[in-house]
Amino acid sequence: MDNYLSALIYIVIGVGAGVMSAVFGVGGGALSTPSIRVMGVSAIYAIGTTLPSVLPGVITGMYGYRGRKLVRYDIVAIVAPTGIIAAVLGSVYSHKIPGNGHILMIVTAAILLTNAARLALPKNKRHIDVHQDDIATYKSHTADPPSPGIEGDSLVAASSSISSSSTSTAIRARMSLRSILVLSSTGVLAGLISGMLGLGGGVVLVPLFANRLRLPLLQATATSLVCIGVLAIPSIVTHSFIGDINWSVAVLLTIGTIPGARLGAHLALRLRENWLRLVAALVLSVIALVYGISETIALFG
């Protein structure tokens, strides 16, 4: 393939990864990793090569969400410490898994498919959902955003209902010990996925935040993006030290990811939450199926 055409394709892949990162909060690796595999990048190099484009995509996506008060920094503070340690360990041990990277790619596909199914399931109607009418509140309201806790936990919360005029008062909650343990454990899993699979960890963070913590999808996405950015740094450093990053491809992906993430944040603020969940589930399902089948053939072929 002509070098210029290949470069253009990598940039387009980066644009798509940036859009997915900002809209769905999954880091973009869910699209870019299988895509660069199709372009001929080896399985083990595909894991590390997509990571450098994650960080600028996250920063750009968060810039698009600026002023909305969507990020739950209390959640980030719990997820990050265990996630960072796990990201380094996952990066180191990615080379010790048999199958020359193909088994890791099949695991990636399984994770994508599982989380696509979770996103497609309707949320529990007993919890408050924030849809298009409430986005105006995020843009103008100066209080903290809604912060429901994990179902079944003992939380101290003060809440008010969402009125027909789209005005809402923040719901404040103090997380229980069980909530903290769940989030810390999730940080470990997200870190391992970031370092071992090159996905950024958002594929487990967004479903957890949206389905288990019952956060509105915009809030879950924005919070996941910050976590992904934090976890990507140790993963990039470790994979760079190991030497399994194709920097020429990584730079091209990054060139596309930056405008893609800006576009994705723009779209996310204008689409209804139900549509976001269904589109995310559909996109992840298609990628997972194609990805899993092709890697299985490569492993046993």
- Tokens read off for 49: 């090569």
Residue 99: CB atoms within 10 A of its CB come to 15
- Tokens read off for 157: 């919360």
pLDDT score, position 25 = 65
Taking the chain (301 residues) in runs of 10, the rounded mean pLDDT of each run is 84 89 70 83 84 81 74 91 92 77 77 75 46 39 42 34 32 63 89 80 78 82 87 90 91 92 81 75 80 78 65
Among residues 109, 108, 57, the alpha carbon closest in space to that of 253 is found at: 57
- Tokens read off for 213: 């913590």
Contact 107, 135 (CB under 8 A): no
As a dihedral over the C-alpha atoms of residue 87, residue 91, residue 97, residue 99, rounded to 10 degrees, the angle is: 120
Among residues 178, 167, 160, the alpha carbon closest in space to that of 133 is found at: 167
pLDDT score, position 86 = 93
Q: What is the rounded CA–CA span in Å between residue 275 and residue 96? A: 40
Q: Which residues of 160-196 are buried (b: 16+ CB within 10 A; e: fewer)?
A: eebeeeeebebbebebbeebeebbeebbbbbbbbbbb
As a dihedral over the C-alpha atoms of residue 103, residue 201, residue 229, residue 210, rounded to 10 degrees, the angle is: 160
pLDDT score, position 26 = 64
Q: What is the rounded CA–CA span in Å between residue 236 and residue 230? A: 11
User: Rg of the Cα trace of the chain?
Assistant: 19
| H, E, C per residue of the chain | CCHHHHHHHHHHHHHHHHHHHHHHCCCCHHHHHHHHHHCCCCHHHHHHHCHHHHHHHHHHHHHHCCCCCCCCHHHHHHHHHHHHHHHHHHHHHHHHCCCCCHHHHHHHHHHHHHHHHHHHCCCCCCCCCCCHHHHHHHHHCCCCCCCCCCCCCCCEEECCCCCCCCCCCCCEEECCHHHHHHHHHHHHHHHHHHHHHCCCCHHHHHHHHHHHCCCCHHHHHHHHHHHHHHHHHHHHHHHHHHCCCCHHHHHHHHHHHHHHHHHHHHHHCCCCHHHHHHHHHHHHHHHHHHHHHHHHHHHHC
pLDDT score, position 129 = 38
CB-based contacts of 195, cutoff 8 Å, min separation 6: 86, 87, 88, 89, 90, 91, 92, 94, 231, 234, 235, 238, 239
